[in-house]
Structure 1
Amino acid sequence: MAFTESVVTALPCQRHLFEVPADVSYLDAAAWSPLPRSVRAAGEAGILVKSRPWAHPRSAVPAWAERARAAAGGLIGASADDIAIVGAVSHAMSVAAHNLNPRPGGRLLRVADEFPSLRFAFDRLAGRQGLVVEEVPRPPDGDWTEAVAAAITRPGAAPLALATLTPLHWTDGSLIDLDRLAPLVHAEGAALVIDATQAVGAIPVSVARWRPDFLAFPTYKWALGPYGLAFLYAAPHRQDGTAIEENVGNRPPAVGARRYDRGELYDPVALFMAVAGLEQITEWGVPAIAARLRGLTDYLADGAAELALMPAPAPLRAPHILGLRPPAGLPVNLADRLRRDNVFVSERSGALRISPHVWANDDDLARCIAALGIALRGVT
């Protein structure tokens, strides 16, 4: 059955709010998103502030930082006081690692082939604290949740000191169910750090349910904002730590997670854009977005299955990213071949990663499946 707008009624296609040409199938939001027109306009307004500072007093900009903080917190069920504004998720993870003191000799648990931002700072922490780094290997059946749960509770293993997890695997959208795993981590008395880069803005995220010590996400992917700006959630008991950079804005009397704010925070371009993107996501509603994206990826999965590309079963994949891992491996340069037909996707660690957002429509999906079929027929 063809995908039509009647399949997903919670949120119609929002292509009119973007500048995506009709003949371009941009299905790579997991890499970075195009900007909505409103976000571009907000950035241009921010440029005017810096271009004509005599006409736009700097005293108006701090309020935008608080507006961004509140909007980011709203998407994860946190208050503005719980949110620091940082430069990148790697910055956020360095802050988190700097402010954790896990038990020496315990385990640092993560999944295999994790994104570098969630490895580097914690590798250093592991070396400093004498932690044993355990990477859960990719499960043959694709069920990361079961594999991670078994690792957390494995009899005879060293005590779990820290888990650094994500709601889904960044390479292919394989689900890592934190609703199930977070309580297991807490039951072990371990700290929990979450990289929600590939989640916030596309699927529901709740710090109340997961109770992480720290959680971070950027704006340039699913939150439809600028590059070079990210948010760090710090749980209330983690808000009296030490920043990795000292600046006037994050010293006392700064309260809450503001203690971890980056320097040069009051950038009108980035803040204006971030607010526009975050508030647009809030207006649509994340559950409605997730429902729409599930319809899109389910349709793509059906088409991929007909081409013998073997998508994972729906219960094992997140609603917004479809990863394809053919048993014989991906044809060489498959993403490049698709790009010639104006279909934009990514290859990540042996998977073809397809990630539509709210601008994607029926024509995009049909063009993607058709281009895949042509590319595969050309393989000898």
Structure 2
Amino acid sequence: MLPKALSREQAQLRADTPGCQHIVHFNNAGAALVTKDVLETQKAFLDAEAGHGGYETATAQAEALKRPYYELGKLLNCSSDNIAILQSATAAWMQVFYGIPFQKGDRILTSVHEYAANYIAYLQVVKRTGAVIEVIPETEQNDVDIQALEHSILHGKGRPALLAFTHIATNSGRVYSADAIGAVAKRHKVPFLLDACQSIGQMPLDVAKIGCNWLTGTSRKYLRGPRGVGFLFASDEAMKHFEPGTLDMCGAEWTSESEYRMQPGAKRYEQYERNFAAVAGLGVAVQYANELGVDWIWERVQHLAAELRVNLARLPGVTVHDRGTLLCGIVSFSKDGVAPARIQAALLEKNINVHRSARSSTRLDFERRQLPESVVRASVHYYNSGEEIDQLVQAVWEAQ
């Protein structure tokens, strides 16, 4: 059981989070509450832009705009030269995916719990090129089936052109074994793109250990940064063989009438225009996570989520849908006879934020597990308290 009294450390975390004064926030997998330092950084940057000009502020705040590169490098165990900052995680992911020269018969290997934005891109490339999507099944423990993945690479028809996996699904708490996927990718020299939107900020990620060629993430979720900014890790090996999907005058230099030269590092994936205030805020957010320590964050998040699952499962008519050997801070559930939209609305009336995951967000997983059209998604973070978990569970019990 979680202690109901806050420790001094937990009280400080909540004091650092202005939103905790007004709302019980269990939508951290959507957009977590930012810290006051992140908020003040953005406000100050916008004030400077309004008072002195956008270009001039970017020049004056050059150090603040460099911070996310080295803080993300520290978080992911890579060089800052391997980090690119973009407008969103989707923009980062697309820069990688559409830079791969798929041909007819090439296979895109992905998973049962792949996210809709990614899968739609697969379908578009299939339509354009004649590439093929192959969905790797799960084990009985609801992890990606590594043996099936390796068998597909070795014996499948057509070239395995890309392993593209989402680390944590948007609709479920289960975590895939990214390290095991990376080992297979390395062994067979198949490029590996990992969507880490839901994992970065809540659990340790080491790109050297994972062995991915690219990793994409967002600011707004478990890193507690601003909306409107995402990022990408690109390995040196990947940059030797693949160009970004698009290039502009930020990612490349126009060197002659008929030639261009890409930036030497991951900045080649970037585009000129971004939300610079959000970039500065991201740097502060990642620094905060690094100072807390991601190992401590992961332990705290898992503890809170486990407590929430146990308490929800005790309620009459409530089914918790998370299955897997390793579960994270996302808790998905439904209640007999009460639509998820009604549960969400009833909780909001009590100043409790949750979200809903719809079938269209992870269609393959919903259909294979025969889930309802949508499920309630309550996602915890380290600043949540045991008392807030009790409030959520009580509100779900009362919802009708």
TM-score of the aligned structures, taking structure 1 as reference length: 0.87
- Do residues 153 (structure 1) and 161 (structure 2) align? no
Higher mean alpha-carbon deviation, 248-257 vs 17-26, is at 248-257
Residues 94-118 of structure 1 show CA distances to partners (whole Å, capped at 9, x for unaligned) of 2112322356423212223532332
Separation (CA, whole Å) in 1 of partners of 2:223 and 2:336: 33
- 1:352: which partner in 2? 376
**Displacement of 1:188:** 3.8
CA contact (8 A) 2:330 2:379 kept: yes
Classify 1:128/1:73 alpha carbon distance in 2 versus 1 (closer, same or farther; 3 Å).
Answer: farther
Separation (CA, whole Å) in 2 of partners of 1:133 and 1:3: 47
Number of equivalences: 372
- 2:385: which partner in 1? 361
- 1:87: which partner in 2? 87
- 1:225: which partner in 2? 225
CA contact (8 A) 2:332 2:378 kept: yes
Higher mean alpha-carbon deviation, 13-22 vs 219-228, is at 13-22
Separation (CA, whole Å) in 2 of partners of 1:122 and 1:136: 15
**Displacement of 1:170:** 1.3
**Displacement of 1:168:** 1.3
**Displacement of 1:23:** 6.1
Classify 1:180/1:326 alpha carbon distance in 2 versus 1 (closer, same or farther; 3 Å).
Answer: farther
The residue type equivalent to 1:203 in the other structure is: M
**Displacement of 1:161:** 2.7
Gapped regions of structure 1 (runs ≥ 5):
none
Residues 189-215 of structure 1 show CA distances to partners (whole Å, capped at 9, x for unaligned) of 322111111011111112112222211
Separation (CA, whole Å) in 1 of partners of 2:235 and 2:387: 43
- 1:316: which partner in 2? 325
Higher mean alpha-carbon deviation, 155-164 vs 20-29, is at 155-164
- 2:48: which partner in 1? 49
CA contact (8 A) 1:152 1:160 kept: no
- 2:343: which partner in 1? 334
**Displacement of 1:315:** 5.0
**Displacement of 1:256:** 0.6
Classify 1:5/1:77 alpha carbon distance in 2 versus 1 (closer, same or farther; 3 Å).
Answer: farther
**Displacement of 1:185:** 3.3
1:1-380 equivalent positions in 2, closer than 5 A: 1-4=1-4, 14-22=13-21, 24-53=23-52, 58-101=58-101, 104-112=104-112, 114-136=114-136, 143-146=142-145, 149-154=147-152, 156-158=155-157, 159-240=159-240, 241-242=243-244, 244-248=246-250, 250-251=252-253, 252=261, 254-265=263-274, 267-307=275-315, 309-311=318-320, 316-324=325-333, 333-349=342-358, 350-375=374-399, 378=400
CA contact (8 A) 1:108 1:131 kept: yes
The residue type equivalent to 1:246 in the other structure is: D
Separation (CA, whole Å) in 1 of partners of 2:102 and 2:179: 23
2:163 match: secondary structure = strand
Classify 1:242/1:371 alpha carbon distance in 2 versus 1 (closer, same or farther; 3 Å).
Answer: closer
**Displacement of 1:13:** 6.5
The residue type equivalent to 2:297 in the other structure is: I
Separation (CA, whole Å) in 1 of partners of 2:58 and 2:394: 52
Gapped regions of structure 2 (runs ≥ 5):
254-260, 359-373
Higher mean alpha-carbon deviation, 76-85 vs 308-317, is at 308-317
Higher mean alpha-carbon deviation, 249-258 vs 66-75, is at 249-258
Separation (CA, whole Å) in 1 of partners of 2:238 and 2:181: 21
- 2:256: which partner in 1? none
Classify 1:291/1:2 alpha carbon distance in 2 versus 1 (closer, same or farther; 3 Å).
Answer: closer
Classify 1:291/1:162 alpha carbon distance in 2 versus 1 (closer, same or farther; 3 Å).
Answer: same
The residue type equivalent to 2:88 in the other structure is: A
Separation (CA, whole Å) in 2 of partners of 1:13 and 1:368: 22
Classify 1:33/1:2 alpha carbon distance in 2 versus 1 (closer, same or farther; 3 Å).
Answer: closer
Identity %: 19
**Displacement of 1:69:** 1.2
**Displacement of 1:41:** 0.5
CA contact (8 A) 2:31 2:220 kept: yes
Higher mean alpha-carbon deviation, 66-75 vs 314-323, is at 314-323
Kindly report the root-mean-square deviation, in angstroms, between the aligned alpha carbons of the 2 structures. 3.0
TM-score of the aligned structures, taking structure 2 as reference length: 0.83
Higher mean alpha-carbon deviation, 107-116 vs 163-172, is at 107-116
Separation (CA, whole Å) in 2 of partners of 1:10 and 1:153: 48
CA contact (8 A) 1:242 1:259 kept: yes
Classify 1:36/1:9 alpha carbon distance in 2 versus 1 (closer, same or farther; 3 Å).
Answer: closer
**Displacement of 1:123:** 3.1
Classify 1:361/1:48 alpha carbon distance in 2 versus 1 (closer, same or farther; 3 Å).
Answer: same
